[in-house]
Amino acid sequence: MKEINITTKFSVFDEMSELPKNIKDLMEQAVEIRKKAYAPYSKFRVGAAILLDNGKIVLGSNQENAAYPSGLCAERVAIFQAGAIYPDAKMLQMAISATADEKPVTSPIPPCGSCRQAIAEYEFKQEYPIEIYFMGETGAIYKSDSLKNLLPFMFDKNFL
């Protein structure tokens, strides 16, 4: 038997004021759109903002459904919308912010597994990494240079 060691690297910003201006603006849009989340069941609201190489910003918020799991996470709402409206644009950066109605969220909240796989598909398709910034309601912001940091064993079309 052999063991392999996989390491990932993240940059950590202690607060939004430390972010580069363009990323701070993107994160502020993620914070705003999370207020429009439809989350009557989980009471957990997430917003995502994606900057495209054409300068457009695409937003998404989580949308729940009583017939779980028919809802969709904010990250997938944004990434699928970007893919549908701007199919030839590259996704450069994604900002994600999460909050809960019933308790403060002060830790960075990364994308769930389904969202990671969706982001991986587009990163693979465009052959270009997507920088991902994620935070809770307040506190530190984590930056990943690529989805591979969050999902080192990505499944892509090469396995099919």
Residues taking part in catalysis: 75
Two tokens, residue 114: 């389904």
Q: What is the DSSP string of 78-108?
A: HHHHHHHH-TTSPEEEEEEEEEESSS---S-
The Cα-based distances of 47 to 7, 39, 159 in angstroms read 28, 12, 31
Nearest to 136 by CA among 21, 52, 44: 44
3-class secondary-structure state, position 56? coil
Q: Which two tokens stand for residue 74?
A: 């904010």
